[in-house]
Structure 1
Amino acid sequence: MQEGREQKARFQYEQKVAAQQADEATAASQRDAMARYREGKYLLSQQQALIAGSGGNLTDPSVIDVMGDTSERVTLAAQTDIYKGEQQARGYNDAAKVAGYNAESAMRAARIRAAGSLFSGMSSLFSRFGESNKKTQDTTSVELPYGPR
């Protein structure tokens, strides 16, 4: 039983670590996405400054298209970062579930082994001192030379 408790504790620890890693993967992907959005805003402001500095018009359809493309690419990159983090978190959460199942299985297996040892010990005890060890014949199988007694 002690071995089962130790295995259960080890698997529960693995479960906790995997859950923490899942949370960290999600948080890291959100931080990365926010960084992408900040970079995108900076890039858009640079584009606006370059267009205005060169005498261009920000309402020109080609300028709007370029800036729209930039914005779409920034959004896609940020959403990709979030998706990657969610995928990684799912993997960690799956590992946490497996560790939880293993923890319960370890205890179940320990109980079964303990019960098996108990029954084995009882069987051994019974075979030494129980009913099966009683004398099966009351008389001796040796016949005396002078006839039955």
Structure 2
Amino acid sequence: MGALAGLAPIFGAIGTGISVLGTIQAGREAKAQADYQAKVQEMQADEAQAASQRDAAATYRQGRLIASQQRAAVAGAGGDLTDPSVIDIMADTDFETDLAARTDIYRGEQQARGLNDAAVNSRISGKNAQKAAFISAAGNLFSGVSNMYSRFGAQAKTTATASGSTRPLYG
């Protein structure tokens, strides 16, 4: 039992060291996970923006097709493309097409902004988790040192020897 008592401070120091290193590693892993999540969110933001641009291009193509069909219908019915009512209808079609395409782009930009904000928040959370791990590791280190000092330090040595009377309690 005496040999284990001599090794107790060493085991205590090793345990404290492992606890500190484990806490620091957990913080690093939390930050790495948050950075990865942020990267994914940024890629999703880029994709949302690209998708909205593709949708807008499709809307513009659809609008040109509709305008072409309107011109063909007017010409086929013997109408005049310079007639003010025909011009108004064609202008309305162009306006609605442009509005729909711009709305597609706006939606994509809004979604991208939200995802980019989420990426920033993920990175902040990762940094905070890493800082918290370092603080916790420092607390574990100081706690371990304090416990070891209480058990094996000068204070424990001074209280180890008993002093006083050996008189019986009831005598």
- TM-score under structure 2 length normalisation: 0.79
- When residues 64 and 139 of structure 1 are mapped into structure 2, their CA distance, relative to the original with a 3 A threshold, is closer
Cα 1:99–1:52, aligned 2, differ >3 Å: closer, same or farther? same
Q: How far did residue 130 of structure 1 move?
A: 1.9
Partner of 2:10: none
Amino acid at match of 1:48: R
Q: What TM-score do the two structures reach when normalised by structure 1?
A: 0.90
The runs of 5 or more residues in structure 2 that have no matched partner are: 1-23
Q: How does 1:42-53 map to 2 (within 5 A)?
A: 42-53=65-76
Q: Tell me by how many angstroms 1:141 deviates.
A: 2.1
Which of the residues 93, 102, 105 maps onto 2:116? Answer: 93
Distance 1:2 1:122 in 2: 20
- Identical columns (%): 56
What's the RMSD between the two structures over aligned residues? 1.8
**Cα displacement string for residues 16-54 of structure 1 (whole angstroms, at most 9, x for unaligned residues):** 000000000000000000000011011111111111111
Structure 1: runs of 5+ lacking an equivalent: 145-149
2:40 is the counterpart of 1:17: yes
Match of 2:139 among 101, 104, 116: 116
- Residue 8 of structure 1 pairs with residue 22 of structure 2: no
Cα distance between partner residues in 2 of 1:143 and 1:78: 98
- CA drift at 1:6: 1.2
Q: Which residue of structure 2 aligns with residue 142 of structure 1?
A: 165
Q: Which amino acid aligns with 2:72?
A: A
Flag as ranges the 4+ runs of structure 1 deviating above 4 A.
Answer: none
